Every structure is written in C-alpha cells, then in structure tokens.
Structure 1
C-alpha cells in the first residue's frame, strides 16, 4: 500500500512540476499558500502558538533539562548494574502538558 501511495504522490508531483498546465496549477497553489500564510488571522494563530511554546519552555525547560541529564547519566553510567531505573523529581514544580500550560485556550 505504501508503494502505491508513493507512486501516486510521485506522479502528482511530476505532473505539477513537469507540465505547463501542472506548472500553472503549482503557481496557483503556491500563491494561495502564500496568501493564506500572510493572512492576519493565520499570523494571529502563529503568534499565539509561538507564545504558548515560549511560555511552556520557560516554565518547564529546567525540569526537562534535569530529566534529560539524569536519564543520560543513568543510561551511560558504567556501573555494571542491570538496574537502569532513575528516580527523578522535578525541581521547578510539576511537569505539565501543553493543554495544562494554556488553560484558557479552547480545546479541539
């Protein structure tokens, strides 16, 4: 099934880029995508997503770094022990997911 899907996708891209009609259609799609991206409503969503990511990184960055360091130390330590479990407690408070970090954002 993957092979058929790849073939169809390749044929579609070849049509878009290889024929004059396909090239015109490609230009229409490219113009539509550019217009959509530069739409103020879309940019508003982009800015909200960037702000949410920044806020999440600020609140959870330290905890994520600490977990990565402790996991790496536990994984690469050469103690010869079979037990690779590491106890980890967040230092900056509990780790939350993106929905918890943005309680006012409507969920889809």
Structure 2
C-alpha cells in the first residue's frame, strides 16, 4: 500500500511539475488508468475495504481507552445541573448565589503543594 501511495504521489508531482504538454499528460493519465484497473491493484483495494471497519473499530477502542486513562488521571469533577449551576475543581457557579472561585489560585490539588 505504501508503494502504491509513493507511485501515485510521484506521478502527481511529475504531472504538476513537468512542462511536457498535453500529450505527455494523456500518456500519464492512460498509465494511471491502466494501473488502477489492474486486477492486482483492485484485489488490494478490496482487501483494504474489508479490513477498514476492523481497523476503525480497533482505533476507536484504543482512543476510548486512552481517553478513559486521561480522565482517571485528572483530579476533580465537573457537573452542570438543570437549574444552570455548574461546578468543577476550581470553582462553581450558582445562578442564585453567583460565582465561587478557588482563591488559592493553585487549582485542583493545591492542598497537596508544599
């Protein structure tokens, strides 16, 4: 697959960089069309299409796992209530009483500082 991408990239670069004219462009386009319609290439394309959902699932699972790990490392909490109040580890907001901010300016875990 990497070789195919390299060939495609080289072909595109040559077409864009060359000043050989329309005839050479048509030759290159014909070669690219022959390559793309080659049964060996199409076989690889179909293999990639079949594996794509499986790979996407694995990547999604890994991303969710890493996000869960990151969440567990972050201290504190965050919540928003239906009445419009909000709170997190550095302060809170209540529509009735206003804002309450962590005045130590150390944020979450500030009590653990020396």
Q: TM-score range by the shorter chain?
A: 0.3 to 0.5
The structure that is strand-richer by fraction is 2
Q: Which has the higher contact order (CA 8 A, sep 6+)?
A: 1
| Larger CA Rg, structure 1 vs 2 | 2
